[in-house]
Structure formats: C-alpha cells, structure tokens
C-alpha cells in the first residue's frame, strides 16, 4: 500500500506504482479506475477523451478524471487504484467520486459527443446565411438591388409578433438603420456558426443562436406556403441552441481541447457557463431542473407561435402565406368618379406580388357604376401613389398594379372621363386580383 498524502492511497501489485516518490505523487492527481486501466485508457483515447486522463469504471459507467501518472496505466500488470479523496492541490477543490456524480460527469461528456452532428449542422445553417449574402449572391447586401435582404424585413411586418413588428417597421422606414441591422445580423450569424462548428465558446454560441432564432421565429414564423417553413426553422433552432447550451462540447471541439490542455479551467464558473464542461457539477437535481426548464421553454415558444400564427391548436387552422390578401381601407368615392383608397398586402407568398387588374364601384344591387381596367391601372402615375414603405412600394406593371408582400399605400384613381354618381349613395369599392380573388370596402359617395 502506497500513501500519497492528503488521504490518497494505492493498493495493488504494480511495482512502478509502489516505486513512485511521495514528492511526485503529491503533485499529481488521482483517479479511480477498474480492473484493466490500460484497456480503459486506450478505449478512452480512441474516443477522443483528453490525453493524460483515465476512465472511472463504477456502477453506472465510465467518466473522465485526472490520473496520477500516465505511464503507470500502460503497464499491463493488473492492479487497482483506490482513491478515498481527491484534491486539486492548488485550490483544495474536492472531487465527488460517488457513483451518481460519476454518472453525471459521464453523461456530460457523452452528451457533448453525441450532439456533435447537431452542433455542426446548426453552425453551418447560420454560417451559410453569411456566405449566401456576402459571397454567393452579394446583391443581397446591396441596398440598391431588388434582391437586397432589407426587402425581406418588409415582408415580415404584416403578422410579426410583439415588439418585433414595430421594430421591423422602424428599420424598414429608416434605410441607414436597416443596412446596419442587416450587416450586424449577418455577421452575428457568421460568428455563431463558426463558434458552433469549431466548438469554441459553445454555450455562449448556443445562447446567441437562441436569440437569433427567436427573432427569426417572431418576425418570419408566419411565412411558409406549404410546410410552415420559417416556423419550423425558428422552433427547431431555439430548441437546438438551448440544448447546446446545456451540453456544451466535449470531443471534436476547441472547448474540449482547452479542457485537456488546461484541466484546471474546468473548475472556473466563467468557463463552464461560456464555454463547456459540467454546467452543474455535483448538483444532479439542479441539472435535471435546468433540462426541464429548457424543454418547457422550447415547447412553449413552439406552441405559442403555432397558435399565434396559424391557430394550430384551436380556432380553425389557417395559413397567411397560402393566398394573396389585401386590406382595403379608407375608401373614398367622389361624385365625379375619382377614387381614393388605402391598400396593404398582408398575406400570400413572399415570392411574388398581388396583381390588381380591376377596380369597381358598385351600388347596393351589385350594378357596376364605374370600372378601372388593367390598362388604366398600369398607367397610374407614380405621384398618385402615396407609399407606406419606400423600400417595398406599390408598383405599376403591364397588367395593372403590383403589390409585393408588405407593400402598402394610398392610391388615387382618376377616370378617363368624369362620371356622374349620386351624392350620399351607398356603394362598394371592389379590388380584383388576377387570380380572381376580390376584396371590398363599403363607403358613401361624397
């Protein structure tokens, strides 16, 4: 039996172990291992476990802790190391080697390993956003281009949730601010992507990815013509980011390398919360509570947005992206036939506009009193349209008025020849899309 001081002891038949000096042993760190430590260490190193570390083999599995002497473990002789206590000599931190704690440490390492594919894929999803905008399609970051990313912000506005809606409106109405936000958001996506792929500052990257994903979900979650695309992406990425925050990184990561190279940082709270390592060492119940909270938060964000955007839980499911929809408000019809109306496109696919090919004024019986055809609408002067957002304007096309998603404004229409409508008569102003869809508003001739 060899005494190592500070409560450490070795028992077994290995002469190398018994031959170690007390001085060497006292400056080392001890490990509890099973009957065949050499085999366990070999298996651990093949799996990417830290060099210079061994595996504990207790009731519930294996976990990594520091060893006394690396060379000792490659001696094929059968022996046991029995540790009654374990201290880091520098700061006298006691390591709990109870089976439950060992299982927790084991779970952290395996969790980080098994989440590696998710970390890599999630990281590239964020990084690819920057690559598309900056390299593959640089026009996406050109404010003068029709492909400018800023136009997407305008399409998010109609059904964005909470404070995101007024924020998006402000950005769209202030071009310089919008450009800064677009660049900042893109660079944050790139940085988060790189951190996740390399496994550096994994927990911080996971949290930032949650914030980015929450912004995507709250702003664009309602867009998706077939598979509710943006809602699915936002919900999944929130859950993924929170899970990466819980697990951190172990194998195949910079964080894991730092833990191997500088094992003492594992005891630093800032390292645990910003990078990786055991998030709640020796506190199994706390870790369980945190995992439950993450699950509830992820599921809550998913279910709340599902109901808010689609009535997915109750109330009759709908999809705002399925078909074009126009809000027709503030109609004004004058006795001479002039028409003024506020239009706003708040629904339908974001990939093409609504095409207004006819505007009618009808009396209570449905009789058409006045009609503006497609060729007339195609010639509406730009000065006759008061745009809601200059970035996303109502346009004229060869077959009428074109309203991209998020476009709106007040349109003045003048008949080629003055009409004669009865003052005070109740009429209906009807807007007709090329698809045949119709939207109406009632008013009184003035």
Q: What residue segments make up the domains of the chain, in order of their start?
A: 2-96, 114-310, 325-444
pLDDT of residue 267: 78
Torsion angle of C-alpha atoms 44, 46, 49, 55, degrees rounded to 10: 10
Residues 392-427: tens digit of each pLDDT = 999 999 989 999 999 999 999 999 888 889 999 999
pLDDT of residue 38: 40
pLDDT of residue 107: 72
> Please, what's the largest Cα pairwise distance for the chain?
114
CA distances from residue 103 to 11, 95, 98, 281 in whole angstroms, order as listed: 24, 13, 9, 11
Asked whether the predicted pLDDT for residue 47 surpasses 60, the reply is no
pLDDT of residue 88: 35
The answer to whether 266 touches 275, Cβ cutoff 8 Å, is no
pLDDT of residue 268: 87
* CA 232 to chain CA centroid, nearest Å: 10
Residues 217-250: tens digit of each pLDDT = 999 999 988 788 899 999 999 999 999 999 999 8
Q: Which of 299, 307, 304, 308 is nearest to 239 (CA)?
A: 299
Alpha-carbon gap, residue 64 to 263, rounded angstroms: 11
CA distances from residue 121 to 67, 126, 199, 205, 234 in whole angstroms, order as listed: 34, 9, 12, 14, 15
pLDDT of residue 229: 86
Q: Rounded to two decimals, what is the model's pTM?
A: 0.75
Residues 100-133: tens digit of each pLDDT = 544 555 677 888 899 999 999 999 999 999 999 9
Those residues with Cβ within 8 angstroms of residue 206's Cβ, 6 or more apart along the chain or in another chain: 196, 241, 242, 243, 244, 245
Residues 178-205: tens digit of each pLDDT = 999 999 999 999 999 999 999 999 999 9
Residue ranges of the alpha helices (H) in 221-317?
A: 229-247, 254-261, 269-274, 284-310
Alpha-carbon gap, residue 161 to 221, rounded angstroms: 9
DSSP of 198-241: HTSSHHHHHHHHHHHHHHHHHHHTT--SSS-HHHHHHHHHHHHH
β-bridge partners, 216: none
pLDDT of residue 33: 40
pLDDT of residue 94: 39
Strands 400-403, 354-362: pairing kind: antiparallel
pLDDT of residue 396: 94
pLDDT of residue 282: 65
> What band does 42 get if pLDDT is binned at 50, 70 and 90?
very low
- Mapping DSSP onto H, E and C, the string for 375-412 reads HHHCCCCHHHEEECCCCCCCEEECCEEEECCCCEEEEE
pLDDT of residue 295: 95
Q: Which of 247, 253, 130 is nearest to 191 (CA)?
A: 130
Residues 56-87: tens digit of each pLDDT = 333 333 444 443 333 333 333 333 333 323 33
Alpha-carbon gap, residue 40 to 392, rounded angstroms: 64
Q: Of the given ranges (63-67, 77-81, 152-156, 302-306), which has the lowest mean pLDDT?
A: 77-81
Alpha-carbon gap, residue 49 to 215, rounded angstroms: 37
Q: Of the given ranges (39-48, 258-267, 353-362), which has the lowest mean pLDDT?
A: 39-48
Question: What radius of gyration, in Å, describes the C-alpha atoms of the chain?
Answer: 33
Q: Is CATH 3.40.50.720 the right assignment for the domain spanning 325-444?
A: no
pLDDT of residue 106: 64
């Amino acid at each position: 039996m060899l005494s190592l001081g500070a409560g450490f002891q070795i028992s077994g038949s290995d002469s190398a172990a018994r031959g170690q000096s007390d001085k060497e042993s006292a400056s080392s760190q001890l490990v509890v291992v099973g009957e065949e430590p050499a085999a366990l260490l070999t298996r651990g190193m093949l799996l990417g476990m830290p060099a210079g570390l061994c595996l504990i083999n207790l009731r519930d599995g294996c976990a990594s802790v520091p060893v006394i002497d690396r060379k000792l473990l490659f001696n094929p002789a059968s022996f046991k190391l029995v540790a009654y206590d374990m201290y880091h000599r520098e700061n006298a931190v006691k390591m709990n080697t109870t089976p439950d704690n060992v299982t927790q440490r084991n779970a952290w390492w395996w969790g980080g390993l098994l989440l590696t594919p998710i970390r890599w894929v999630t990281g590239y999803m964020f990084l690819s956003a920057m690559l598309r905008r900056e390299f593959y399609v640089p026009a996406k970051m050109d404010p003068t281009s029709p492909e400018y990313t800023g136009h997407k912000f305008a399409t998010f506005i109609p059904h964005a949730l909470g404070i995101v809606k007024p924020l998006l409106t402000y950005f769209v109405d202030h071009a310089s601010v919008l450009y800064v936000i677009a660049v900042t958001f893109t660079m944050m996506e790139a940085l988060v992507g790189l951190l996740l792929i390399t496994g550096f500052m994994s927990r911080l990257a996971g949290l930032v990815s949650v914030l980015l994903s929450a912004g995507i979900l709250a702003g664009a979650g309602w867009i998706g013509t077939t598979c509710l695309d943006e809602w699915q992406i936002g919900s999944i990425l929130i859950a993924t980011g929170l899970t990466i925050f819980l697990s951190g990184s172990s194998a195949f990561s910079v964080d894991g390398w730092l833990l191997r190279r500088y094992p003492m940082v594992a005891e630093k709270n800032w390292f645990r919360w910003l990078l990786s390592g055991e998030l709640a060492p020796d506190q199994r119940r706390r870790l369980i509570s945190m995992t439950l909270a993450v699950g509830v938060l992820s599921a809550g964000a998913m279910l709340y947005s599902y109901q808010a955007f689609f009535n997915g839980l109750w109330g009759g499911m709908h999809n705002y992206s399925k078909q074009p929809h126009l809000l027709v408000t503030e109609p004004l019809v004058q006795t001479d036939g002039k028409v003024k109306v506020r239009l706003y496109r708040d629904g339908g696919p974001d990939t093409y506009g609504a095409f207004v090919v006819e505007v009618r004024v009808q009396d209570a019986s449905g009789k058409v009193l006045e009609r503006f055809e497609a060729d007339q609408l195609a010639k509406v002067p730009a000065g006759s349209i008061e745009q809601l957002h200059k970035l996303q304007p109502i346009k004229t096309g060869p077959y009428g008025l074109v309203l991209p998603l998020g476009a709106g404004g007040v349109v003045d229409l003048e008949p080629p020849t003055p009409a004669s409508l009865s003052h005070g008569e109740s009429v209906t102003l009807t807007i007709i899309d090329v698809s045949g869809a119709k939207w109406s508003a009632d008013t009184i001739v003035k």
